[in-house]
Amino acid sequence: MDARVSENPFGRSISADDIVDTLGFFDSWEDRYKYIIDLGKELPAMPDELKTEDRLIRGCQSQVWLETEQNGDSFEFQADSDAFIVKGLLGVILAAYNNKSGGEILEFDIEQYFEQLDLLRHLSPTRGNGLRAMVQRIREIAGA
């Protein structure tokens, strides 16, 4: 297993509930954006050799790469982007999905999670579409 995958705090020490709770502390969306960008800094760097065409997620405004490793029942994801805010959004998604089984990924109510975060109302339509493309790709992997 790639050490960078196991170093990933999302889905381990940073859960979806943690993100919901922390974002709830901030009054302004400017502060929330800063927090989301800071989350992106927690993502382990993805090696350039993994940033290949077959790992690129279509439908994102920025470049986003996703690597998956199945470990027993659970999926471990490594993700990266060329945009700071998108790296943070990847952290938000991985907090919900990383280190979970396919069933847990498919059962997780991502729409309710995004609603709790009040996220989609505060992203541009293209960022929102990219977020959905990331979720769709992870769900396809989990359902395969």
User: Rounded CA gap, 80 and 87, in Å?
Assistant: 6
Which residues are identified as catalytic? 60
Nearest CA-CA partner of 97 in 114, 85, 115: 114
- Sequence spans of domains, the chain: 3-143
Looking at residue 91, its pLDDT comes to 96
pTM: 0.91
3 pLDDT more than 60:
no
What sign for the dihedral angle of Cα 20, 99, 8, 130? negative
Question: Using one digit for the tens of pLDDT, what is the confidence trace for 25-82?
Answer: 999 999 999 999 999 999 998 999 999 999 999 887 789 999 999 989 999 999 999 9
1 pLDDT more than 50:
no
Tracing tokens 């969306």 back to the chain, one arrives at 29
Yes or no: say if 46 and 90 are a contact pair by the CB < 8 Å rule.
Answer: no
User: Rounded CA gap, 113 and 109, in Å?
Assistant: 6
User: Rounded CA gap, 75 and 70, in Å?
Assistant: 5
Looking at residue 6, its pLDDT comes to 59
Question: For domain 3-143, is the CATH number 3.40.980.10?
Answer: no
Mean pLDDT of all residues in the chain? 91
